[in-house]
Amino acid sequence: MGHLEVICGSMFSGKSEELIRRVRRAVIARRKVGVFKPSTDDRYSREAVASHNGMTIEAAVVPAEDPWSIWSWVNENPVEVVGIDEAQFFDATLAQVVDRLVQHRIRVIVAGLDMDFAGRPFGVMPHLMAVADEVTKLKAICARCGEPATFNQRLIDGKPAKLSDPVVLVGGGDRYEARCRRCFEAPL
């Protein structure tokens, strides 16, 4: 039997660093590793899982709407450890793929945002957290007060975004910061 580890938390909480740290240790232990991330996450290089402190590891990029291509890849390239970054962007079938991997004795390490910008459970993450053997919830630092932060504050032109604001703004103009529960201004 395999093992499912979930690393969750807000933006800037070090999820990718923690995923990379665990993958690095598996590589040192001479385990065969495959790392995946959704193709919708194109903030950085398309071939590497990058983290904010610049550590990178090579990763296969998989379309977010097609988690089964992770399974196909693993069938052609047998591995003992699978890392999946930005898991919140994959569709719900990721839960079935992860379950299949664990059934096939693979150690699966998933990292992703547990909440969206409105503080709602994000995509497939709550499901994965429920069925995981181990959940690690990391915290960032509140951009307002410096306390531990668990929320993602979306700002448009410096003001808290509304629920009705478009998810993608042409030309940017929106940014995110970590906030604690007290400083988080929930979008209405």
Q: Is 59 in the site for Zn ion (CB under 5 A)?
A: no
CB within 8 A of 89, min separation 6: which ones?
38, 40, 41, 64, 112, 123
Give least dist CB 153 to Zn ion, A: 10
For residue 181, the tally of other CB atoms under 10 A from its CB is 13
Contact pattern from residue 158 through residue 187 relative to Zn ion, giving x for each residue in contact according to CB under 5 A and a dash for the rest: ----------------------x--x----
Contact pattern from residue 126 through residue 145 relative to Zn ion, giving x for each residue in contact according to CB under 5 A and a dash for the rest: ----------------x-xx
Q: Which of 17, 86, 134, 177 is catalytic?
A: 86
In 3-state terms, what secondary structure has residue 15?
A: helix
Report d(CA 16, CA 101) in Å as an integer: 21
Residues binding Zn ion: number (CB under 5 A): 6
> Looking at beta carbons only, is 23 or 142 nearer to Zn ion?
142
Q: Please give the torsion angle defined by the CA atoms of residues 133, 15, 50 and 68, in that order, rounded to the nearest 10 degrees.
A: 30
Give least dist CB 121 to Zn ion, A: 21
For residue 54, the tally of other CB atoms under 10 A from its CB is 7
Give the interface with Zn ion as residue ranges (CB under 5 A). 142, 144-145, 147, 180, 183
